[in-house]
Structure 1
Amino acid sequence: MKKIKFSKDEGSDFYKELNERIKNYFESNRIGKTGNRKMIFKIAMYFTLVVLFYFFMLTSSNTVTFFVFYIGLGISVLLNAFNVSHDAAHGVAVKSKFWNKFLFQLSFNLQGNNAYVWGKNHNESHHLYTNIEGSDIDVLNNPLVRMTMDQDLRWYHKFQYLYVPFLYLFYSLNWFLFREFLMIFNRSSRTIKISIPTGEIIKLIFFKIVYIIYMVVVPCILLPFGWEYIITAFLLNHFLVGIIFTAVLGVSHLSDYVVHPEPDSNGELNMSWPKLQMCTSVDYNVDSTFLNWVLGGFNAHALHHLLPNICHIHYIKLLPIFRDVAKKYNIEYMEMSYVQALKSHFRFLKKMGTQVEFKPVNYEI
């Protein structure tokens, strides 16, 4: 991974005052930055939904209810990841360091994915070097989808805005079947290579086997349906999870409003880290209590990137402070409706498929 040096600019002063005012908010209200009782309820609710849907799925009497409960299980697991796993990975779901680690490991590993790999990638690559080719692991070096100007423009990229939704269907399945295995052997097409400890490799393989057992083998044994129904439900579940996951996260960093900055030959970037986060993130419907509850604050991505040490349960109350400080230092905070963010996402895909040099459009919403 390429290490980047950041510069000092107005974003530095913005970030300093933002942290001071956020600190004053929590101190004056005598509350902690981690999850509160509402968060505890959310954790219990989402884990309960997973257990209930799994039980109902295994006791289904017909194929219709089986598919409904199987898909419900998959969505519950995804919502658990949005609301519990993510905050726990940042150590803010609850106060206890032990319980944060336990919740993160449990929820991720039981999805058949490896918590260690995701945590390293997310915290030490994506959060630090957002949208920087060669440093942010979420900027793909994918021959099918061109996402930065550093990537070669191929003739078929002009159609990527049309075929990308189909590829999104396979996002979750690719993650489970190929992505982490390829990382073990450093054969991944992703731009970042990481070293996975032997113990984590064993856990990675073990939990993928466990996942297949309770999602495929056990239903095949206990239910009176043919195995083809189980496999179909398994695939449909991953297709739906892939679409929802990319629909929620893709619009935040892959937009024709955001930048993909390039450091100079010395590895220096002509902006501060806080300004980078504001220039590379689009937020949508951030005042929505419903979306904060369902998406775990993923719709307030800029705020989260700058304040990862705060539980998403507090985001809506912090927004007035966030907007006020950004305005004071003339830092652009890009927020819009989801429909506008989605349109911007597809405009970005279309432009990146036809333009060698891509320039973000001015944010004027």
Structure 2
Amino acid sequence: MSKVVFNNKNAVFFQSLKMAVDGYFKESDLKKTGNWALYSKTIILIVVSTALYLTAICFSLPVLTTILIGCVLGFLCACIGFNVMHDANHGSYSSKNWVNNTLGLTLNALGGNSFIWRHKHNIIHHTYPNVDGVDDDIAKTPFIRMCSSQQWVPMHRVQHIYTPLLYAISSMIWILFQDFEKYFKRKVHNTELQKMKTSDHVVFWISKILYLFFYIALPIYLTGWEQWLVFFISLHIGQGFTLAIVFQLAHVVEETEFTFAPVNETTLIENEWAIHQLKTTSNFSPNSKLITWFAGGLNYQVEHHLFPRISHIHYPALSKIVKGKCEEFNVPYNCIPSFNGAIQSHFRFIKSLGKKPVMHAAI
């Protein structure tokens, strides 16, 4: 297991930023959790998704219609993850814990597991983003090389070509394989998984069985295996690609930095925790209200990493405060203005990492 230590001795930047953000909420008389802007999204996304699911499993449909419904449903399932599950599992959806815990289980309804995800995402990723050897989100070797410290293999020469295909099946791999791998190994990459209570084990197995019933057994029984197969694959293409792209554009782009933490060694990060978040994270399309609505504010990834327990509906307003403080303290504020620009930056970066590293001769 790697040990990473931040230099927090003079964490004046985050102290100043936090005071400014707290002042904003006090002056505006706002709660840091969600409001009806978030609640209405929750209702819309869940109702429309349920309608599409029932249409797909209750009616005999043409192939193209099945593909379209599957892809759109997969996209909306990812949006439920961004908007509802994500805020809930961060404790920022509501001030009531039971609401957060209940809505956090929307991840289980989508096939994942909220207990494992919270450990993987809230604890590991949010503390050590882009730290190779710790952050599971960039641990895709040998299939994808996501930073220069990772081992290069010949197939990486074309990883910018096949990576979209892997993104398209990523949610299927996550739900049907990776969750079980983490569950039985009791590890998230190189980090020990938190001890699960009996109730956590029960929820894991019941939700996985229910997923197999509602997404595989019931559709096959009602529509036949041919329509189910088209629907299931289309669903995961829409879901997997949407999930992967949104998260990759936030961290794996040309603008962000990476750190290597060797296993069984202590790695000292020269910056305070907040500065590390800024250097390893990037916003994209901040002026697009449409992307902000569907992506659950995750295009404001900088604000999310600095204040993960504040609901995403506040990020557009907070971004002005964060950007101003970054300018005041002369620290980076990564932001790619457009979605297309972020896509291009990601794949240029992936392509550059696919080139065989130049070996320098020892002097």
Task: Provide TM-score, normalisation by structure 2.
Answer: 0.90
SS of corresponding position for 2:235: helix
Alignment equivalent of 2:243, drawn from 232, 242, 245 = 245
Q: Which one is further off, 186-195 or 328-337?
A: 186-195
Letter aligned with residue 144 of structure 1: F
Name the CA distance, whole Å, in 1 between partners of 2:288 and 2:140.
Answer: 34
For 1:154-213, what per-residue CA distance to the aligned partner results, in whole angstroms no more than 9, with x for missing partners? 222122112211211220110011101111232989344425526334432322221121
Q: Deviations over 1:50-96 (max 9, x none)?
A: 22222333343533544443433332222111100000011111221
**Structure 2 unaligned runs (5+)?**
none
Are 2:222 and 1:222 aligned?
yes
Q: How does 1:123-134 map to 2 (within 5 A)?
A: 123-134=122-133
Corresponding residue of 1:44:
43
The residue that corresponds to 1:272 in the other structure is: 272
Q: Which residue of 2 aligns with 1:150?
A: 149
State the partner residue of 1:110. 109
**Number of aligned residue pairs:** 354
Letter in 1 for 2:218: V
Contact 1:179 1:188 in 2 (8 A): no
Deviation at 1:262, TM superposition (A): 3.4
Deviation string 1:108-128 (CA, Å, 9 cap, x unpaired) is 111121110001110110000
Cα distance in 1 for residues equivalent to 2:65 and 2:144: 37
Query: Quick check: 2:133–2:261 contact (8 Å CA) kept in 1?
Result: no
Q: Which amino acid aligns with 1:351?
A: S
Deviations 1:304-340 (A, max 9, x none): 0001111111111122111111100011111112222
- Conserved? CA contact 2:300–2:319, under 8 Å: no
CA distance in 2, matches of 1:2, 1:188: 13
Read off the aligned partner of 1:157 and give its amino acid letter.
Answer: H
> Do the aligned partners of residues 5 and 332 (structure 1) sit closer, same or farther apart at CA in structure 2, a change above 3 Å counting?
same
Q: Which residue of 2 aligns with 1:339?
A: 340
Letter in 2 for 1:282: S
- Cα displacement (A) at 1:220: 2.5
- Greater strand fraction, Structure 1 or Structure 2: 2
RMSD: 2.3
8 Å Cα contact 1:87-1:93 kept in structure 2: yes
SS in 2 for 1:298: coil
User: Residue deviations 1:250-291, cap 9 Å, x none?
Assistant: 121111221112359543211111111111111111132221
Q: Is the 8 A contact 1:158 1:353 kept in 2?
A: yes
Superposed, 1:193-204 pairs within 5 Å as 193-195=192-194, 197=196, 199=198, 200-204=200-204
Hey, what does 1:362 align to over in structure 2? none
Is the alpha carbon distance of 1:73 and 1:23 closer, same or farther for their aligned partners in structure 2, counting shifts above 3 Å? same
Contact kept? 1:141, 1:191, Cα under 8 Å: no
Q: State the alpha-carbon separation in 1 of the partners of residues 356 and 346 from structure 2.
A: 15
Amino acid in structure 2 at the alignment position of 1:57: A
Q: Contact between 1:136 and 1:192, CA under 8 Å: does it hold in 2?
A: no
2:268 matches 1:262 = no
Query: Contact 1:289 / 1:316 at 8 angstroms: preserved in 2?
Result: no
Tell me, in whole angstroms, the C-alpha distance in 2 between the residues paired with 1:299 and 1:318.
13
**Separation in 1 of the partners of 2:173 and 2:192?**
17
Partner of 1:325: 325
TM-score, normalisation: structure 1: 0.90
CA 1:58–1:281 in 2, change beyond 3 Å: closer, same or farther? same
Maintained 8 Å contact 2:21/2:321: yes
Q: Which amino acid aligns with 2:41?
A: K
* Alignment correspondent of 1:162: 161
The answer to whether structure 1 residue 350 and structure 2 residue 314 are counterparts is no
Shift of the 217–357 alpha-carbon distance from structure 1 to 2, 3 Å rule, reads: same
Tell me the distance in 1 between the aligned counterparts of 2:358 and 2:103: 44
In the aligned structure 2, how far is the partner of 1:272 from the partner of 1:38? Answer: 34
Q: Deviations over 1:118-139 (max 9, x none)?
A: 0111011000011111221212
CA spacing shift, 1:9–1:255, aligned 2, 3 Å: farther
Report the Cα distance in structure 2 between the residues aligned to 1:333 and 1:320, rounded to whole angstroms: 11
How many angstroms does 1:356 deviate by?
Answer: 3.1
Partner of 1:100: 100
Identity score, percent: 28
Rounded to whole Å, the distance in 1 between the matches of 2:349 and 2:321 is: 30
Tell me if structure 1 keeps the 8 A contact 2:120–2:188: no
Rounded to whole Å, the distance in 2 between the matches of 1:276 and 1:193 is 23
Matched letter for residue 297 of structure 1: G
